[in-house]
Amino acid sequence: MACVNCAKIRAAILHGKMAEAAGLSVQALREKFGLVTITGLTVMLADPDPLDQSIPALSTYLAGVTDPAHIQKLIAAEKAGKTRRGALDALAARLAELAG
Per-residue 3-state assignment (H helix, E strand, C coil) for 18-57: HHHHHCCCHHHHHHHCCEEEECCEEEECCCCCHHHCCHHH
Total domains in the chain come to 2
pLDDT given at position 100: 84
pLDDT given at position 1: 45
Let me know: does 87 contact 51? Beta carbons within 8 Å. Answer: yes
Pair (59, 93) in one structural domain: yes
Rounded CA gap, 58 and 48, in Å? 11
Element (H, E) at 99: helix 85-99
**Lowest pLDDT segment from 26-30, 48-52, 55-59, 80-84:** 26-30
Q: For residue 93, which phi and psi values (nearest 5 degrees)?
A: -65, -45
- Segment 39-47 shows an average pLDDT of 53
pLDDT given at position 5: 60
- Segment 41-69 shows an average pLDDT of 80
Q: Does the structure show a pLDDT above 60 at 51?
A: yes
Pair (11, 28) in one structural domain: yes
Pair (33, 57) in one structural domain: no
Q: Does the structure show a pLDDT above 60 at 93?
A: yes
Q: Which residue range is the domain that position 88 belongs to?
A: 50-99
3 burial (CB, 10 Å; 0-12 / 13-18 / 19+) is exposed
